[in-house]
Amino acid sequence: MKITLIHPPEGEREVIAPPSKSMAHRLLICAALADAPMFLRCSASNADIDATIGCLRALGAVIDARDGRFYVEPIDKDIYPDFDTSRTLDCGESGSTLRFLLPVAACLGAGAKFVRRGRLSERPLEPLYGELIRHGAILPDDPSGEPLTLCGKIGAGCYTLAADVSSQFVSGLLMALAMKSSGGESTLTLTGNIESAGYIRMTLAAMERFGCRVKYSDDLRCFEIPGAGYLSPGSLNVEGDWSAAAVALCCGALCGGVTVSGLDPRSLQYDRQIIDILRNFGADTVMTDTGASVRPAPLHGITADMSQTPDLAPAVASVAAFAEGETVLTGVQRLRLKECDRAAAIVEMLTRCGIYAAEYDDRIVIRGGSPTSCELDCRGDHRMVMCGCLLAAGSGGGMTLDGCEAVDKSWPGFFEDMESLGAKFEIVM
């Protein structure tokens, strides 16, 4: 679907942050593994959350959406292991769903076929894949084949993971090994650089809300996982999503001012760092107990490390396109392993708009200016659609974005919320 922005956001406007899909994944999985039913308040869903719900249902959980919340009846863990690979877990394009539920299913002893769509089968599964096999999982030699069939069962033991590829591998193992079906206490040791450490802390916090207290070192290198199971808290809320809010806040730095409510300034989501990044650009930023506001001000180039907040990179690059001088985004290696090669996509988009951008092994260099109207290929990537929308908004409109349906992955109401900020769009096809 192609959409043209014909009028940018304007004036002081407010939008409510959608629920955090990162936290929703974790809380849904813990709820499905708990000892009793519960309600999870989540005001909206998206394609990735729906994928996790569908997979948990395939594993035996009962999940029903009611009035902005999910009612979750846990998986009957006594039926496993059955090694029946006829069940299908359709992960859609959700890397979190696949990487969290592969170890969970292996720990349950639940044989299954994992279906991956889009670019998901190309995204890495090592070193998690090999560690699961070493502890009893039976998986194909080639992890890229479709579907991915799992047999066997893993249990308590000593696990080691290189942590420089994805924090999702770590989170998946932590949630899996905490189940009673793991058979006892486990240890997990991380080696190498720890990527996205904030997301590991989010997982630990989610588990603790279900009475599962993992002991871990301050540097997140060593974990002792009790294997005592999860206790239902009865009900919980899914907090607002800083990753989505970052796009609206970046829009505020370019057009008229935006307030995003429904955010926790003390959240463990690392993407809350967007406030510091925008402040460094020169934008006028304000934090409150329930959200944040950003207003335009003269912007200048900065150097920003994206290694711990890779999902922010497209939005930050869009702001850099309008900032005077040079911006350098470092730690961009993992951008190449997302729904598309986001490092290449950022450079391609900015170049097409008439902005100098260059990609190197570990950084992207952008020289700000005045982006010109054009048609942008968003590569079927939700973050790149939002990046393109920011470029269109900052340039005053006239840009056409191709592949806009991709926003359903994380923020189905994105264009409606942009319209609430004053933007006007026209559907081209």
Residues with a catalytic annotation lie at 311
What is the residue type of 305? D
Angstrom distances, CA of residue 223 to CA of 30, 31, 151, 270, 291: 18, 22, 26, 21, 33
Assess contact for 72 and 28: CB atoms under 8 A: yes
For residues 286 and 263, is the Cβ–Cβ distance under 8 A? no
Ordered DSSP codes for 119-144: TGGGS--TTHHHHHHHTTEE--S-TT
DSSP string, 340-355: S-HHHHHHHHHHHTT-
Positions of E strands within 274-349 = 284-287, 291-295, 303-305, 326-330
Residue type, 120: L
CA atoms in the 13 A half-sphere facing the CB of 84? 9
- Which letter, b or e, does each residue of 411-420 get, where b requires 16 or more Cβ atoms within 10 Å of its Cβ? bbbbbebbee
Structure token digits, residue 173: 């193992």
How is residue 21 annotated by DSSP? H
The phi, psi pair for 372, rounded to 5°, reads -105, 155
